Structure formats: C-alpha cells, structure tokens
Amino acid sequence: MTDFDPVIGLEVHAELLTRSKMFCGCAVVDSTAAEPNSSVCEICSGMPGSLPVINQRAVEYALRVALALNCSIAETSVFARKNYFYPDLPKGFQITQYEFPLATDGWIEIDDPSAPVSSKRVRIRRVHLEEDTGKLVHRERHSLVDYNRSGVPLLEIVSEPDLGSADQARLYSLSLRSLLRYLEVNSGDLEKGVMRFEANVSLRPAGSVELGTRTEIKNLNSFRALSRSIEYEIDRQATLLRSGKPVAQDTLGWNEEQQITVSQRSKEEAHDYRYFPEPDLPPLHIDETWVEQIRADLPELPAVKRARFMSEYGLNAYAAGVLTAERSTAAFYEAAIESSQGTSPVKIANWLSGDLFGLLNEAGVEIDQSKVTSEALAGLVALVETGQISAASGKAVLDVLFAEGGSPESVVEKEGLAQVQDQAAIRLIVEQVLSNNPDQVSEYLAGKPALSEWFVGQIMRETRGKADPARVRTELDAALLALNDQEQSQSGR
C-alpha cells in the first residue's frame, strides 16, 4: 500500500464474567453448552412491565477496564434505549449507553513483537456498558431462538481510527484480550463468542489528513477473520479508488467460506435507532472513592510487566511479550526464578517458552493444569546448566515430568540419565575407543584433525550419551596430543 494509507478503528464487544446478568438475577451460563432458554426471566425475555436493576459487579468490572485503559470516568453516565426489531431482541430495544458513556478518552499501548522497539499508542474513544442479545440458531426451514445470552453484561470498547494496518488491528485486539484476562473480567474464549469485533476501514491518499469514506465490517469472531477481512477491504477499496470509483459507505459482513466482505444493508444512521434515556433506570452515579479503590486494586498490567521482565531478567522484547501475554504464565515464570537459586532467568525463559510451551500446546493444556511445577522446571534447568545432565537428557526428563509430574532429580535417577562426570571413568573410555580404532588414529595423526569429532561421537555412543561432552573433549585432546608426541619422538630420532 504505497499510494493509500489505511485508517482503521475497532469496536470490541466483550462479555463480562459476572455471575448474573446486567439487569436481572439470571445466572450467566455458557451459551454454547447450556440447555437453551434455561437461564431466562421476565426481565431478560422482555416481558412488558418488568423492571431492570443495574448489576453493580458489572459496573465494577467495566471500571477496572476503563481505568486500565487510562480513561476518564464519567461521574454520571446514562443508560439509553436503542430501538430496533430483531427476533434475538425480545424487548424491541437494547439497553446501552449512548450520549453519556461510562468512560472516555483513554489509550492503550500495543506492542509489535516483530519490531525491536515498538510501542504504538492507540487512543480509546469510549468504554460503555450494555446488554447482549439472544442467539438465533438457524435450521433448514426455520430458526430457533435462545435467550440465555439475552441480558448478559457487555462492554463496548471503541478505539479512535489510529490503526494503520490489518496487523496493527490484530495486535491491538490481542493486547485488549490480554488486558481483559489480566483484569479477570473476560475469559478470552473467542470460540465461545465472548469477544466480538467490528472494524471500520477507510483509505486516504498517502500523507493526506482528510478521512475517506469508511465501511464497517460487522460480527468478526476471530483474530483471523478480523485481519483477513480488513486486508480484503483495504484491497477492495484501493482497487475502486485507483479506477476512479467512489467507495460507498456501507455495513459489511465477512463471508468466511469465500473470504470476501459482502454488503449487509445500506448505511444506517444513529437517528434510525431513536435513542432516548432508559426511563426505568436512574442515571448511574460513580463514587470517586470507589473508583480510587478499584484503581488501587488493579494488578500489574501486561505492558508494565513486559517492560519489567526486560529490565529485571534481561529478556528480549519478544520473550518478555510471550511470557507476559498471560498472567498465569508470568506468575509461573517468576515462581520458577524464585525457586531457582541463581539459574539464569534467560535460560529458564528459553525452556519455558520453547520446550514446555511446545508440550502444553500439543496437549492443549493450560500452564496452571500442567504437571510440571515451576520448581521442577527451575530444578531441571539447573541440572542442565551445571552439566549434571545433557541438554538432550533434559528434554527427555521434561517429557517424563510433563506426563507424570515429580521432581527432575528423581526422574534423572530413575532413568539413569546423570552424566558421567568422573574424570577417570571418561579417560578409560577414551583410551578404549582410541585403541579399538587404530586406523582412524593413524589418519588423525597423519593430518586429519576433523576426525576428533568422530572420536567424540564414538565415545558418547559408548557412554550412551551420558558423558559430559566438555570433559570428553578435554580427555580426548589430551590423549591425542600424547599419541602425537609419541609418534613425533619415534619418527624424529
């Protein structure tokens, strides 16, 4: 994209992990698993005359997010009715916040792990509370409706159009997901629909400041769909503009099968929804002391933790990003360092993000559920670093720990993996290998130094990989040097 700059803003909808719904006492259930319509009452099914009540926990969770996003909190915010008809919306309106949202004017820094120094600040326009809709399940000739999700607290986070590429949009939404999980207000399970994205995309001539006509892509449920649809839309608009055609303002859907955006309806304006303040709810007043208490209780957030991991443990930006993306991973890593008694944090990071992550991903296991404890990992890395076992044996030990748990020392002992450190024992094997291979010894002495690697291989095989390679080399070099001297003296005099 050289002739046009993409301008992208995102709206993110995130369900809040409260026990009950936004305006009634119904339990929030996993809408992909629960019996349909099993958690529904007169309020969330929109019976006439029923009265909503604001869920205080939902407001608290929303404030956590708003504060973590550096927003200003409105002393008074107002719930409004957004009127439209759809079968998944039994009331005929959605309660949301419109003119007076809970929080405004924040920002988040997103990191691009592929760039060395990379913090991009994305401005947050607003954060507000609303309720989710029900769900339609389409059958061949009819549709079913499940109101379990109707009234689940939903947080809408709207960014300014500060994103310049599909990749930045993806990194931004990954950073948000990480933040929401750190704050323990959203599970981050995109497959369950707990986070959904809408992207607005426009192009403008490179270097220009005026905004072009934008289109809005609705209902994106995965990071992949998010970045693919934005890429597609950038290309589509660029092709139009290059051939002198205008981009029509439009609401689009993403066709996953064909990997294209498709027009859903012509432009819709805010006045179509006839917003007005919800008459059944009072304005929401937020107490300053409560805000300060929530602020004080915020955990260390991913960006801060990442910077600390770099300065405190000497990790590079990429490793620090990987280890702080999840709070549980970061906690595991720091617990391992604490129990390690001086093993290099970088080495522990390598074993954790390389070998252990590989096993976890393969088995689909979360780090909290892993049989490898942080102490065990630290102990294992120490055994390798002090040469008590080889790196290859270390991987074998990790496999056993992953499958069975236990301590690395006991696995090493049980499997007989300890390296032979005994100098005399190694010397004996070296001499044995040399005397068993007189031809190779002669070749070596005749001027083929590369053969020393071959001898190392033979010796390691003889010890079934358990000799400390550094000691093997020392002993081998000494023995070969002695043979060389011997030959020199025989031929020289």
Residues that bind Zn ion (CB under 5 A): 24, 26, 41, 43-44
Nearer to Zn ion, 43 or 69 (CB): 43
The residue among 47, 23, 40, 43 whose CA lies nearest residue 146 is 40
Q: Do 226 and 197 contact (CB within 8 A), yes or no?
A: yes
Task: Report, in Å, the least distance between residue 46 CB and Zn ion.
Answer: 10
Nearer to Zn ion, 26 or 360 (CB): 26
Nearer to Zn ion, 26 or 434 (CB): 26
Enumerate the β-bridge partners of residue 277. Answer: 80
Nearer to Zn ion, 20 or 221 (CB): 20
Nearer to Zn ion, 43 or 201 (CB): 43
Residue 414 corresponds to which tokens in the numbers above? 């049980």
Residue 446 corresponds to which tokens in the numbers above? 């005749």
d(CA 357, CA 365): 9
d(CA 348, CA 350): 5
Q: How far is CA 433 from CA 246, 402, 452, in A?
A: 80, 37, 12
Task: Report, in Å, the least distance between residue 137 CB and Zn ion.
Answer: 20
Nearer to Zn ion, 21 or 64 (CB): 21
Which residues contact residue 311 at a Cβ distance below 8 angstroms, ignoring those fewer than 6 apart? none
Nearer to Zn ion, 44 or 199 (CB): 44
| 461: helix, strand or coil | helix
Which residues contact residue 47 at a Cβ distance below 8 angstroms, ignoring those fewer than 6 apart? none
Task: Report, in Å, the least distance between residue 237 CB and Zn ion.
Answer: 42
Nearer to Zn ion, 55 or 343 (CB): 55
Nearer to Zn ion, 43 or 174 (CB): 43
Task: Report, in Å, the least distance between residue 185 CB and Zn ion.
Answer: 20
The residue among 249, 157, 262 whose CA lies nearest residue 200 is 249
Nearer to Zn ion, 39 or 215 (CB): 39
Phi and psi angles of residue 480, each rounded to the nearest 5 degrees, phi first:
-65, -40
Nearer to Zn ion, 24 or 441 (CB): 24
d(CA 240, CA 232): 13
Residue 21 corresponds to which tokens in the numbers above? 């719904």
Task: Report, in Å, the least distance between residue 48 CB and Zn ion.
Answer: 15
Q: Do 12 and 196 contact (CB within 8 A), yes or no?
A: yes
Task: Report, in Å, the least distance between residue 42 CB and Zn ion.
Answer: 7
Task: Report, in Å, the least distance between residue 53 CB and Zn ion.
Answer: 10
Reported in sequence order, the residue ranges of 187-316 that DSSP labels E, i.e. its strands, are 195-205, 215-220, 250-255, 260-266, 276-277, 284-285
> To which residue do tokens 């319509």 refer?
37
DSSP string, 106-174: EEEEEE-TTSSS-EEEEEEEEEEEEE---EEEE-SS-EEEE-TTTT-EEEEEEE-S-B-SHHHHHHHHH
Phi-psi region at 467: left, alpha or beta (left = phi > 0; alpha = psi -120 to 50) = beta
**Residues in the chain, how many?**
493
